[in-house]
Structure 1
Amino acid sequence: MAVEVVMPKLGMSMKEGTVSVWNKEVGETVNKGESIASINSEKIEMEIESPAEGTILDIKVSEGEGVPPGTVICYIGEGNEPVEEKKARDNQSKPKKERKKISPVARKMANSANLDIDTLVGTGPGGRITKEDVLHALPEREEKKQNETEHQPINMMRKTIASRMMESLQTSAQLTITMKADVTQLTNLQQQLNGTAIARYDTKLTITDFVAKAAILSLLEHPAMNSQYHNGVLETFENVHLGIAAALDNGLAVPVIQHAERLTLIELAKSIKLYGQKAREGKLLHDEIQGSTFTLTNLGAYGVEHFTPILNPPEAGILGVGTMYDTPVYRDDELCKGTILPLSLTFDHRVLDGAPASAFLSTVKAHLEEPISTLL
């Protein structure tokens, strides 16, 4: 008996899911637990695994099509007989295509130019396609190529990101300030700790881990930044639920580390790596992308220095991290090589003004420039 595969419900608020891509076609065999399709809803993308061993009998939902949770997206059954019957019915229902009449010379010219014969209009006797018909179609084909525009359907994740970014810009008073932190000591400390961190905890410490820890400590010192303004109400949080933006092939996910203030540097680093991996594999749960009070985003890997992060509504702040670079700096009147880390803070001016926002960013900078503070 055929098994129904339905669109899962990824959280209480989910109203629609979209099939991003089918990994299997009708007639292909699948093993239980094998990935048969990718789906997405809002900011979650995940794989759909086959609930049984068998054959894909029918695909009910096309790629790019959105359907409510619980909708049957395909059927899996035993054997090939149902598939062959379906193909037979489809073949019977399709009218036979009428063969195009075309002269041998015209056919040869069309094949050489990669022209689809079915698109040509014949002006010869009985609608026969002639050499002149092919010559007439060539310039039209080239003109059409020049005017062609690629159209791609926007998946649910991209639509959600677009909607949230527009909402963020339209409903908040955003301002971005920048600073540069001298992280020469930090990079030295990172190198000293990594041997032990890898050997003892199987975790490599990154600059992002240190910045995240510095941001958490700074949020505890400046609670106004750890707040949200929503529907005319300002809510300030005692706990830090840190969102870490993760770039995906087809969008962006922001997994949330709950109660990040309770974690040691190693525990924080492990959490960042775990959620980043789950985001890339499309395995984030709905609850794991909800409830952030502040967000961290890093474009350093792309060579970006300062940039303008957009608030993750309804949060009051988001910290952007740029790429590190070496430059000459003065220390005790001596010129030496230093490593600089650009920081970009976007904050909601409705919640706090430039001075307290600058004080928060200065505290982040201080923790990074005295990195031992992130360990105590």
Structure 2
Amino acid sequence: MAFQIVLPKLGLTMQEGVIGGWVATPGQRVSLGDTLFRVETDKVDVDVEAEGEGVLATAAEAGAVLPVGAVVGWLLAEGESVPEDGASPDGDAGQGAAASSAASTPTPAAVPVTGVGTAGGRLKASPNARRVAAEAGVDLQTLTGTGPGGRIVSEDVEDFLARPLPGEAPAERPADAVEPGATAGFVGPVVRKLAAELGVDLATVTGSGIGGRITRSDVERAAGEGRSTAARSAAPSRAGRTPDGPRPGDVIPLRGMRGAIARNMMDSLHSMAQLTHGYEVDVTELVATRSALKAEAADTDRGAPSLNDFVVRAAALALRDHPLLNAGIVDDQIVVADRIDVGLAVAVDGGLLVPVVRDADRLSVTAIAERTRELATAARGGTLGLDDLEGATFSVSTLGAYGVDFFTPVINPGNVAILGVGRVKDGFRWEGGTPVRTQVLTLSLTFDHRAVDGAPAAEYLRTVGRILGRPLALLSGI
């Protein structure tokens, strides 16, 4: 009997996924536990294994965007054919029809072009890049990704499409467009965008790419030659490269990660009675302690804990005394968690991920620092697993690096509170009649008033402030 292969639900917020690629091939006999295909979700990429045995028949092409539960293929007995109605004898014909419809959508033939590179190992591409490539008939294997971890993003596809085919004249551009240098046959939109952000006149740039094409390196080199070190450091950059972002006139669908964030935040605000307290903490001693640690670690490769690492530990320790903030509401009941797993908001291209530090109250500041660095690197590199993203009982969101003092973070669904961390700024206190300079940090606690009242929330903030005021004790684990 035909066994349906459906797109699995990987996480509470997943509503759709992208078939990242089939590992098994149609007609191949697979066994229980064999990897069939890779699915790209709004958070992570996951290998899907066979839950049965049989000969594989596929119903969805790589790059197809499908809802959870859609039929993507079957495992057939020897000599068995795919069900004509797209469903197994006891299956859901509606899902099968939806998958069959998706699978039957014609995919244009790949454009015969000279490849600019292939991604090493498994092909990594964003859902939007796959959609744009499928619509234009571009083989993603011919592209080199410029996104996190070499991931192919939609700009890479657009840049490739804008390049003329071998022997073809460059496309005619508007009269007001910036003309490239004399040796440049064409300037792609991604390179043009980079030049605009770095203030580089493309007419002065000589391309070093194929056929004299101006590359990113050419633009960056021109920017370095024409601007001072201070000006270069002020140019928009993140992790050594110009960030990808929306351009005037773009239409951005609320799908994938962005769609998941939109749904989660609206659900959070509509389903909770959220209130935010602001609280200033004197962190003068903490800043001095961290500066000393940073100086000690200058000659090592381990680095010093960040101020946020201290805050995460303090927040976790304070939850021991205020367990009502380490809870969730389920079926009109407040369920207090039996462990303290702190989620950390990490900004990534196209959205936000919240990886989890397990048992944060049991970890030293140094261990938290190591774990947060690992999670942040994995989040920006697209290598987080579902286990890294599920199950936070409390969350911490930091915007201090952006110069923000106070903000109102939105609670992650399933929790009753989230702590926002602002920047460290100058303050003062009176010693007798003399003002003394201090360092002040603003904390923003958003809590669900259904579970926590204002006074207990304020007491929690006071406990966090008291713990942060004793950095040596916090560092030693006392």
TM range (shorter): 0.5 to 0.7
| Residue 223 (structure 1) shift | 0.7
Q: Where do 1:290-305 residues align within 5 Å?
A: 290-305=390-405
Q: In the alignment, which of 103, 106, 125 is matched to residue 38 of structure 1?
A: 125
The answer to whether the 8 Å contact 1:220/1:238 transfers is: no
Partner of 1:52: none
| Residue 200 (structure 1) shift | 6.3
Cα distance in 1 between the residues matched to 2:311 and 2:347? 18
Q: Identity percentage over the alignment?
A: 32
Stretch deviating more after TM superposition (227-236 or 317-326): 227-236
Aligned pairs, number: 278
Q: In the alignment, which of 221, 237, 240 is matched to residue 321 of structure 2?
A: 221
Cα distance in 2 between the residues matched to 1:267 and 1:239? 17
Q: Structure 1, residues 45-64: CA drift from partner, whole Å, max 9, x if none?
A: xxxxxxxxxxxxxx9x5239
Q: Match of 1:322, SS?
A: strand
Partner of 2:197: none
Cα distance in 1 between the residues matched to 2:111 and 2:321? 56
One-letter code aligned to 2:467: H
Cα distance in 2 between the residues matched to 1:275 and 1:163? 24
Q: Does 1:8 align with 2:108?
A: no
One-letter code aligned to 1:63: V
Q: CA RMSD in A?
A: 3.3
Cα distance in 1 between the residues matched to 2:388 and 2:275? 28
Give the 3 Å change call, closer, same or farther, for CA 154–199 of structure 1 in structure 2. Answer: same
Give the 3 Å change call, closer, same or farther, for CA 111–287 of structure 1 in structure 2. Answer: closer
The answer to whether the 8 Å contact 1:168/1:313 transfers is: yes
One-letter code aligned to 1:33: G
Find the structure with the greater CA-based Rg.
1
One-letter code aligned to 2:375: Y
Q: Where do 1:1-376 residues align within 5 Å?
A: 6-8=37-39, 10=45, 15=68, 27=113, 28=115, 33-34=120-121, 36-39=123-126, 61-63=130-132, 149-197=249-297, 202-331=302-431, 333-375=433-475, 376=478
Give the 3 Å change call, closer, same or farther, for CA 328–26 of structure 1 in structure 2. Answer: farther
Q: Match of 1:352, SS?
A: coil
Cα distance in 2 between the residues matched to 1:245 and 1:205? 17
| Residue 182 (structure 1) shift | 0.7
Cα distance in 1 between the residues matched to 2:353 and 2:277? 24
Task: Give unmatched runs, 5+ long, in structure 1.
Answer: 18-23, 42-58, 67-72, 78-109, 115-147
The answer to whether the 8 Å contact 2:254/2:262 transfers is: no
One-letter code aligned to 2:68: K
| Residue 301 (structure 1) shift | 1.1
Give the TM-score taking structure 2 as reference length.
0.52
Cα distance in 2 between the residues matched to 1:214 and 1:229? 24
Q: Match of 1:210, SS?
A: helix
The answer to whether the 8 Å contact 2:133/2:140 transfers is: no
**Greater relative contact order, per chain length (Cα 8 Å cut-off, separation 6+):** 1
Stretch deviating more after TM superposition (153-162 or 229-238): 229-238
Task: Give unmatched runs, 5+ long, in structure 2.
Answer: 1-20, 24-36, 49-66, 71-109, 143-172, 178-247
Give the TM-score taking structure 1 as reference length.
0.66
Normalized per residue, which structure has more strand? 1
Cα distance in 2 between the residues matched to 1:338 and 1:113? 54
Q: Structure 1, residues 337-364: CA drift from partner, whole Å, max 9, x if none?
A: 1111011000011111111111101001
Give the 3 Å change call, closer, same or farther, for CA 265–26 of structure 1 in structure 2. Answer: farther
Q: Match of 1:63, SS?
A: helix
The answer to whether the 8 Å contact 1:178/1:344 transfers is: yes
| Residue 252 (structure 1) shift | 0.3
